[in-house]
Structure 1
Amino acid sequence: MQRRTKIYFPELADSFLANYVAGEYDLDDEQVEELHRKYPERRHQFWKSFASLEIGYEFYVSQYSWIVPLESDITELLQKYGGFEDELPPFEEANYLSILNYKPLVFNKTSVVFFPQEKLFQTQTCARDILLQKRKDKYYDIQDFNQEIKEISLAKEGNILIVSDKSYQYLFFRDSLEKVKYENVEKYLNIFKGLVGKPTEISCPWHKLNDEQFEELCYHIICKHYKPGKEIRKMGKSRSRDGGRDIEFHTPERLGTDSRKWIVQCKLIRDGSSLTGSKINNIMDTIAQYGARGFCVMTSGVIDSGLYDKLDNIKRNYGIEIDEWSKLEIENFLDKHHELRDKYFFD
């Protein structure tokens, strides 16, 4: 009977394997093909986690999603290896919405994100190949693999999505989920009113805040939304800085993804105008100076299309993670966290 070696640091072993899988194409074509026959998940940039030995069942991870057996306890898995040191965010059943040629959405009572259609297809294709390898049946009909979605759950903060079919549960994390931007909301607003049941009058009196108070509010939002733990810093008084970075934080590490450093710029707008690209300068210089892998802008105004384009170009051309919080996202967040809203906008 073959004895399995105990892995004392599965996170470290997974980090090594992630780099190996990403760089295995340095091998010649025959070696790569042989490796993929033995480990079909690696063809799709997935690997079987070393934590499978400790948790008691096989599950597969990539940089953007996990593949987990249907009967497995998601709560235990996320608490051990998902980077959630404190409490796990509550999940709610989510609705899927597709309108005409617009990107489909998933939403629950508190959050809405774009549905990761392409990433789900890639993940389910990997799951199919894993099942084919397990059954070792050359005559197994691929059509027998039922990819019909049976259940969708979304975390309260919109940072974890779980999609289930008849074979597996697929977990997608915040860095692979695209938030709905302010400019897209009008397309779905009438449907939101009927199905989501969110109030439309949730605007905040931004004139009550000064720059320092707004940055403090952003700091508390980051703590609740990203769960960075102790790895978060607010850079002194707002007027004493050059505006390059207002807040700095690190996302928690999870299997398949290392901790990432983020830079946040906070822009308080009290007159109802838009935040334009000209008001956010030298983004790449700031990112390079502080060695960040993510950039976030938070504003009490509307983000105009020019700034969205600028940020999208940085994400596309440099591989930097981008997140934007306009007044809509912030006000929706505060509508879910009345303790923060009351602290900064008391009567």
Structure 2
Amino acid sequence: MAVTLLLSSAGRRVGLLECFRASARTANIDIRILACDMEPGLSPACRLADKAFAVPRCGDPAFVECMLEICARHDVDLIVPTIDPELSVYSRNIGRFAECGTRIHVSPQSVVDVVRDKLLTAETLDAAGVPVPETHTLAYGRENAEKLAWPLFLKPSGGSASRGIRIVRGPGDLPDEPDEPMILQQLLEGPEYTVNIFIDDGGKLRCAVPHRRLSVRAGEVEKGITERAPVFRDLALGVSRALPNARGVLCFQVILDKVAGPRVFEINARFGGGYPLAHHAGAHFTTWLLEELTGRRSSANDDWRSGALMLRYDAAVFEG
């Protein structure tokens, strides 16, 4: 059995690439991993892939055509997106890629639209009974300042990687003309967790692996430890209930506020940067995706190890 996988916007995602290779060895699958980026020569994951390609930015109209050409020329079976901005592009074009025999690991557009908008995320989760922080538009904050409990978090509605977030102490700290839509969110205090989840192609939640974010760099966990507790499984079931069309790998962020309790404040409909910790703990999402792709019986389960610790460090790829 042979599979060609394309890691999109591969960047630094060496850990994810290695997880797919390990899963393929275990499943006796002959895998060829391709990778693409705007500057593949400066991408560690592209350097370590079997073949790499330069592609336009995902917002460029030429991006989809370029990716379709790569998929057709190299018989790509599966594309795995790794960054939020490309999710909408891929979800809108699932059918076009399917025509050339390529499956994309992305949820439908209806799911991506929700998770890429933090206000809509909060509203959708709240409607499904999932606890979320109090969330408002910037306009509401200006017009109803006396009703709000300051300080609050100010963040881009469609942001990621902790870009542009800051604490605002009162209405005087609000920007007059932000460059993008912003939201105000309840300021939570307590330990922060990422919960990596796997939803099979039938829509069933098969696994939920929480890890405590002990240290974070540029929005990505640097030190983390898996912790099993019923609250996280319940939250994962709530998220899957709120997004019934979600498929594959997702992750969501939770803060266990010392007063308000658990609050889910963000969802990413892709492999999170901390996925290698879940994989190390025994939750082999990459294996389960390859099983679905090749029509094998799924081995997906929720039997992973609590107390698995990840301590990341900087490594390097050398050339020349």
Shorter-chain TM range is: under 0.3
Higher RCO (C-alpha 8 Å, min separation 6) = 2
Higher share in helix = 1
Rg comparison, structure with higher value: 1
> Given the two structures, how large is their TM-score scaled by the length of structure 1?
0.25
Higher share in strand = 2
> Given the two structures, how large is their TM-score scaled by the length of structure 2?
0.26
